[in-house]
Amino acid sequence: MLDEEEEHWPGVVLLDSTSFWRRSGGRTVPAFHVLAAYGYDIASEAASSGRWSADPWEIPAIELTGIPDALPSQVVQSKGRLLKAVAYQVSNTKTWSDFLASTPGMPEVVVADGGPEIRAAVTSLWYGTSGQLGAEFVACRWHWAKNLRSALEDDLISLDTRASLTDKRKRAREHLLWTSAERAFDSPAAWSAFGALAHDTLAYRHGHWSGPAGEDSGRLPATLAWLRDHDLTFTVQQARRALRPGPESVGPLEAELQFVRGSFARRAQSLRNRERTNLLLRLIVLGRRGHVNERLWAERIRVHLDTRAGHAVPQRVLTEHGGAHTL
């Protein structure tokens, strides 16, 4: 491990991934996935200041409207930074568990998109014990809004009988519900107001979906089902917002993943060796963290060669195992 790389997980960790594709047999197939983490350190005095509790199920006795989106700046003592990025053939609970276990320690807070594979890995690896509380899992607000809008679009298109599919989609994205979806997560009052407007707009009647012709399909609209399924999670997460350090979105990590996608997009076709690819990803992470001093790296290479009597390691050491691609 290089000095500039993380020795342990910081207090707040954001998790997300991105996928790459390649052409094979005249079609596009999955190439590999890059799992990534972004993090912040928590000021040592934060835990004893009374501003936040380590118990993720403790809802404070405070007014639940107008809660600020972020904590006071002194709670997080460092700027966020890209922690690591690792390529895997698949993105599932097993690979996420491997990714998380490869760095020692446990963060206080984990922010992710709420996907079952990430949540399962976090829960299984960073669970609480009798002497230690586990990591608090926070669902990303940006992904919540994205998923809610997806459900909204389907429901609003179903209600609109006056236009083509293209026009329906355009009108759905101009609807008041669409434009206000993200603000629904600002406070319990905004959540309730959005839910009431969604019920009125989507013709909710006695727990069933009344379609454009008034028929009873016997199912709940996708938007209302989404609100129902996330109500408890939102209530707990929003109530603890003022007591929890760090952001409530993986947006900072997404910006880093965009850079990775731009760097790898044209190389995915030829990146077949996982070990080589991950060495490249380590260099990219170091570059994004500002460690790109050419003189420093030249000195490291010189020291490395001096310890080997001036001989570099064989250039094709990192070959595929048994001739099979590892990515």
Please check whether residues 147 and 180 belong to one and the same domain. yes
Tell whether 5 is covered by a domain: no
Q: List per-residue pLDDT tens for the chain, 327 residues long.
A: 565 678 899 999 999 999 998 888 788 888 899 999 999 998 754 443 434 444 444 434 333 333 334 443 335 556 789 999 999 999 999 999 999 999 999 999 999 987 899 999 999 999 865 556 788 999 999 899 999 999 999 888 888 777 788 888 888 888 888 888 888 998 999 999 999 999 888 865 444 455 554 444 457 788 988 999 999 999 999 988 888 888 899 999 999 999 999 888 777 777 888 888 898 899 899 888 877 766 666 676 677 777 877 777 766 555 566 556 777
65 DSSP assignment? S
Please check whether residues 18 and 131 belong to one and the same domain. yes
Please check whether residues 32 and 124 belong to one and the same domain. yes
Tell me the residue range of the domain where 197 lies: 142-239
Q: What is the pTM of this model?
A: 0.78
- Which residue, chain included where needed, has tokens 């028929």? 215
Domain final residue pick, 195, 218, 239: 239
Counting beta carbons within 10 angstroms of the beta carbon of residue 209, is it exposed (0 to 12), middle (13 to 18) or buried (19 or more)?
A: buried
Domain final residue pick, 239, 271, 291: 239
* CATH number of the domain bearing residue 255: 3.30.420.10
Q: Which amino acid is at 96?
A: W
Q: What is the domain count for the chain?
A: 2
Tell whether 227 is covered by a domain: yes
Beta strands 27-40 and 81-88 are antiparallel
Tell whether 69 is covered by a domain: no
d(CA 325, CA 271): 9
Domain final residue pick, 239, 259, 287: 239
Please check whether residues 133 and 254 belong to one and the same domain. yes
